[in-house]
Amino acid sequence: MDVLPIASLETRVSRLGIVLEPSGDPAELEGVLNPACARARDGKLLLYPRAVGKGNTSRIGIVEGTGGPDSLTFRRAGFALEPEMPYELRDQPGGYGCEDPRVTFVPLLDAYVMAYTAFGPDGPRIAVALSQDGYAWRRLGLVDFSAPGLPCGDDKDAAFFPEPVLSPKGVWSFAFYHRPMLHISAVDGCAAIPIILDMPARDRESTRIAYVPLDAVLADERNLLRVAESALVLEPAHDWGRIKNGGGTPPVRVAEGWMSLFHGVDGQYDPSGKCSGMRYSAGLVIHDAERPDIIRYRSPGPIFAPETADERRGMVNNVVFPTGIDVRPDPRDFDVYYGMADSRIGRIRVELGQSHVAIVPEESAA
């Protein structure tokens, strides 16, 4: 399959400021962050922030955006999900609940699909919920990665593609990002860095795409949980995001293919060269429209990184974490909602310009 790579893509990013910060409600005591984003059937903007209460207990809220595209105000409208299932509850230290949702409207299912991290007794796992209106959600359950050859265990950063795509084996499938985890990266950030960087890039925490056969889901929606294939699509890069990367926003269709923002992680160092933690930045990726395991473009550096005071200081310092995306009237302009230092929610505008296809030399005649 011949897919021409994209050599360059003009991208402009503008910060639009803080959208939400903790209200004083106990449910947001430790932050409001990492929101999903969708449009209700009447066109109203909806955000689904992760609200973190005391002891790192997480719920997924519903927030309505009203007003013009450049004068939005936001109103909390309750919760989409609160921890209640066994896979969302635990009594060990470190918290529990429903974390970091991404929401995609899938026309073929005529439903909103939420992928979120269920943090329960076995650790973080990917769970799925469905909604007809964006307000009332029903859980499908935990994603099943038990098929032979699939990564199975702690996993995060799931976000669905809105349309079926071809899997690497040529099967029409529903697909979603995911990021299997290494326990070493959660032990002690600075101590783990040299160990991780000694690993081959493909063995570090990386963005993958999971595939669920289309026909099985159309026969029974519960099959949306049963993964048949998983492909590594973004290894940690050499110039940035070297420690790990993971999915960010759900993919949206542009002329060049499927576009999304992802996050990449590097060490953060003080002027003396001492490690002070991790730094989360964001890049842009474009996948082939039919075969998303084929990458057409990956930004050579971050398109935005922690710079403002609210991005550099919070519950976790030096974090920008894109999770929600809203298409503007111009189909190459997007508002992206992101977590700011695990404490607040910010918004940026991403404007795509021209892309330039790489020139591939013709093979010399035999």
pLDDT digits (tens, 9 = 90+) for 297-308: 999 999 999 999
Q: What is the structure's pLDDT at 362?
A: 60
Tell me: pLDDT of 186 over 80: no
CA distance 67 to 348: 17
Of residues 159, 203, 198, the one with CA closest to residue 181? 203
Contacts of residue 293, Cβ cutoff 8 Å, sequence gap at least 6: 167, 168, 209, 231, 233, 287
Of residues 185, 173, 186, 179, the one with CA closest to residue 223? 173
Tokens 């930004």 belong to: 299
pTM, two decimal places: 0.96
All domains of the chain in start order, with CATH: 6-357 (2.115.10.20)
pLDDT band for position 16 (cuts 50, 70, 90): very high
pLDDT digits (tens, 9 = 90+) for 175-184: 999 999 997 7
pLDDT band for position 361 (cuts 50, 70, 90): low
CB 117 within 8 A of CB 129: no
Q: What share of the chain is helix, strand, coil (3-state, %, to 5)?
A: 10, 50, 40
Q: What is the structure's pLDDT at 365?
A: 39
Tell me: pLDDT of 71 over 90: no
Question: Which of 69 and 234 is assigned the larger pLDDT?
Answer: 234
pLDDT band for position 123 (cuts 50, 70, 90): very high
Kindly give the residue spans of alpha helices, DSSP state H, lying in the chain: 189-197, 214-219, 309-312
> Residue 205 has which token pair?
């925490």
Relative to beta strand 257-269, strand 244-247 is antiparallel
Overall average pLDDT of the 116-133 stretch: 98
pLDDT band for position 70 (cuts 50, 70, 90): confident
Relative to beta strand 57-66, strand 96-106 is parallel
Count of other CB atoms within 10 angstroms of residue 74: 17
Tokens 């999900």 belong to: 81
Amino acid type, 78: G
Using DSSP's 3-state secondary structure scheme, residue 364 falls into coil
> Residue 97 has which token pair?
């609940």
Backbone angles phi and psi of 28, in degrees to 5: -120, 20
Of residues 248, 352, 279, the one with CA closest to residue 35? 248
Using DSSP's 3-state secondary structure scheme, residue 174 falls into strand
Overall average pLDDT of the 211-215 stretch: 98
CB 126 within 8 A of CB 207: no
Backbone angles phi and psi of 275, in degrees to 5: -70, 135
Q: Which residues pair with 253 in a beta bridge?
A: 258
Q: What is the structure's pLDDT at 363?
A: 57
pLDDT digits (tens, 9 = 90+) for 245-298: 999 999 999 999 999 999 999 999 999 999 999 999 999 999 999 999 999 999
CB 151 within 8 A of CB 230: yes
Element (H, E) at 288: none
What is the chain's mean pLDDT, rounded?
95
pLDDT band for position 360 (cuts 50, 70, 90): low
